[in-house]
């Protein structure tokens, strides 16, 4: 299996009461996965299925009556990903408990 060197973050954005609200929705290994997930959420929004939309995206914007706020948009950002190696406390801190230099 190839090692992942980047992660793709799917962001949702909606304008409500004149304010733009943006939040991270999910993290993926590639753009195609993020686009497919965004399509599923978009279908839930277009059909007005708030329960499904909130199951897919916990931060889904709803109004006071629990209805989905129209105008949902998505954006994708790719960020570098390099997992840190597992280090013990002895490697991170000196004998006196201060960070090693």
42 assigned to some structural domain: yes
pLDDT tens digit sequence for 43-79? 999 999 999 999 999 888 888 888 898 889 999 999 9
User: What pLDDT, on a 0 to 100 scale, did the predictor assign at position 64?
Assistant: 82
99 assigned to some structural domain: no
pLDDT tens digit sequence for 8-52? 999 999 998 889 999 999 999 999 999 999 999 999 999 999 999
94 assigned to some structural domain: no
Tokens of 3: 């090692």
What is the pLDDT confidence band of residue 100, given thresholds at 50, 70 and 90? low
1 assigned to some structural domain: no
87 assigned to some structural domain: no
User: What pLDDT, on a 0 to 100 scale, did the predictor assign at position 86?
Assistant: 67
Structural domain boundaries, residue 20: 6-81
77 assigned to some structural domain: yes
Domain count, the chain: 1
Q: Where are the beta strands (DSSP E) in the chain?
A: 6-16, 19-28, 73-80
What is the pLDDT confidence band of residue 90, given thresholds at 50, 70 and 90? low
Q: Where does residue 61 rank: exposed (0-12), middle (13-18), buried (19+ CB within 10 A)?
A: buried
Report the distance separating Cα 1 and Cα 55, nearest Å: 30
Task: Evaluate if pTM is beyond 0.85.
Answer: no
Answer yes or no: are the C-beta atoms of 6 and 80 closer than 8 Å. Answer: yes
């Amino acid at each position: 299996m190839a090692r992942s060197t980047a992660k793709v973050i799917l962001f949702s954005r909606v304008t409500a009461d004149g304010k733009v609200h943006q939040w991270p929705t999910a993290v993926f290994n590639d753009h195609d996965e993020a686009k497919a997930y965004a399509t599923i959420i978009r279908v839930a929004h277009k059909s007005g299925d708030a329960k499904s939309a909130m199951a897919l995206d916990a931060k889904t914007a709803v109004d006071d009556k629990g209805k989905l706020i129209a105008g949902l948009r998505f954006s994708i950002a790719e960020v570098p990903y390099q997992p840190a190696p597992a280090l013990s406390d002895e490697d991170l801190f000196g004998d006196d408990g201060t960070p090693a230099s």
